[in-house]
């Protein structure tokens, strides 16, 4: 019997709220149980361990990428960035889930489709998508680290280097365009 | 007077060893003090806070990039990857230091120089180097997350997706070549 009538969806929604309010280090099963007013053991009815809970959150975060079919690599990568930025520590949740081999392959699939739609072979499309996924995760990870330090006041008095300043949509697009130009150049060879 | 004869170099070397043996979450000032057999307060003689200690470690990690002048963007990016991989959680130490606006700008400078050496304007060189730095940090972050989960046994039974499998030198080079091809293509326009 499911505990206290909480569904897996209830648990995941509450976990996302804790993530967004307090960040990944403070998202513990104990805190989640307290927020739901159940024993921590009751959570394991829905999620056998914390990794599987984070995988569910990762799927929900990545699921914010629009599901259109007409959009290109650049707009899909931008949609992924927006999805990751929508929740505090989103890049870390998604990256750790991918590193564990858990969660859906939606992000990679959507990027791969966009490259393949331009006529590239499946293997090339997958490798280009992998490059873009590493770039997007690396970029947003940096953005979210800065946001976290800013909100904690840890960057007071810190100088902005050319790299730390690089976290605007404009810089993000510059890198993506470079990768896309490389793809087109390789396609011509 | 410096405590117990420990120099800043002693403290940093011991911290690097703890980082490599136990990972960033377990590198606490308390643990470091115990390893050096001093009170935690004694560490603040050399490093006013943990951020400044991590910035010193970041500089030492990035400092492993060879100092040659003849190497190109691809080999410098490869040298940065090797440097980050040389210490457990190296990518996280360096990325968090950069996000705080601390540490040296060596990594970005070395990458920028390589692009500028190909005849690109300083602003372009800096932006390309920023893209490469995000890519390298994102790639190695993913590699090190996988290594950490593997050593903890957390990936037992996990499936390898096309993305999780992508952490070889070959995949790293593929992405770099794509960025370099984009740069050359833009240069021709």
pLDDT digits (tens, 9 = 90+) for B166-179: 557 788 999 999 99
Size of interface A-B (CB pairs under 8 A): 165
Q: Which residues of A touch B182 (CB under 8 A)?
A: 177-183, 185
Selection from B146, B24, B156 nearest residue B95 by Cα: B24
SS (H, E, C) B34-55: HHHCCCHHHHCCCCCCHHHHHH
Angstrom distances, CA of residue A74 to CA of A41, A68, B58, B131:
43, 13, 32, 15
Confidence bin at B189 (pLDDT 50/70/90) = very low
Q: Which CATH class is domain B58-188?
A: mainly alpha
Stated pTM of the model: 0.90
Confidence bin at A89 (pLDDT 50/70/90) = very high
Whether A20 contacts A88, CB under 8 Å:
yes
Listed in order, the ranges of chain B carrying CATH 1.10.357.10 are: 58-188
For B146, the closest chain A residue by CA position comes to: A99
Average pLDDT, chain B: 89
Q: What is the predicted ipTM?
A: 0.88
pLDDT, greater one: B168 or B2: B168
Cα B21 to chain centroid distance, Å, stands at: 16
For A186, the closest chain B residue by CA position comes to: B181
Q: Best of B138, B161, B186 to disrupt the A interface by mutation (most A CBs within 10 Å)?
A: B138
pLDDT surpasses 50 at A189: no
Tell me the average pLDDT across A60-83.
89
Listed in order, the ranges of chain A carrying CATH 1.10.10 are: 1-48
Asked if A162 and B108 come within 8 Å (Cβ–Cβ), the reply is yes
What's the rounded Cα separation, in Å, for the pair B68 and A175?
26
The pLDDT tens digits for A94-106 are: 999 999 999 999 9
What's the rounded Cα separation, in Å, for the pair A136 and B108?
18
pLDDT surpasses 90 at B79: yes
- Closest partner residue to A178 (CB to CB) among B138, B160, B182 is B182
Tell me the average pLDDT across B37-45.
90
Listed in order, the ranges of chain A carrying CATH 1.10.357.10 are: 51-188
Q: Which residues of A touch B141 (CB under 8 A)?
A: 95, 137-138, 141
Asked if B142 and A180 come within 8 Å (Cβ–Cβ), the reply is no
What's the rounded Cα separation, in Å, for the pair B79 and B72?
11
Q: Best of A54, A129, A138 to disrupt the B interface by mutation (most B CBs within 10 Å)?
A: A138
In CATH, what is the architecture of B1-48?
A: Orthogonal Bundle (1.10)
Q: Which CATH class is domain A51-188?
A: mainly alpha
């Amino acid at each position: 019997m499911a505990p206290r009538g909480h569904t897996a969806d209830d648990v995941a929604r509450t976990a996302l709220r804790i993530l967004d309010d307090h960040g990944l280090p403070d998202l513990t099963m104990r805190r989640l149980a307290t927020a739901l007013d159940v024993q921590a053991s009751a959570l394991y009815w829905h999620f056998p361990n914390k990794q599987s809970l984070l995988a569910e959150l990762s799927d929900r975060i990545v699921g914010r990428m629009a599901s259109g079919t007409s959009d290109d690599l650049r707009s899909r990568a931008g949609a992924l960035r927006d999805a990751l930025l929508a929740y505090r520590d989103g890049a870390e949740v998604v990256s750790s889930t991918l590193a564990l081999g858990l969660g859906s392959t939606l992000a990679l699939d959507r990027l791969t489709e966009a490259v393949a739609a331009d006529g590239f072979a499946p293997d090339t499309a997958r490798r280009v998508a992998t490059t873009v996924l590493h770039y997007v995760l690396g970029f947003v990870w940096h953005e979210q680290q800065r946001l976290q330090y800013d909100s904690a006041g840890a960057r007071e008095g810190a100088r902005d280097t050319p790299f730390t300043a690089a976290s605007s949509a404009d810089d993000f697009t510059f890198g993506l365009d470079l990768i896309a130009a490389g793809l087109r150049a390789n396609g011509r060879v």
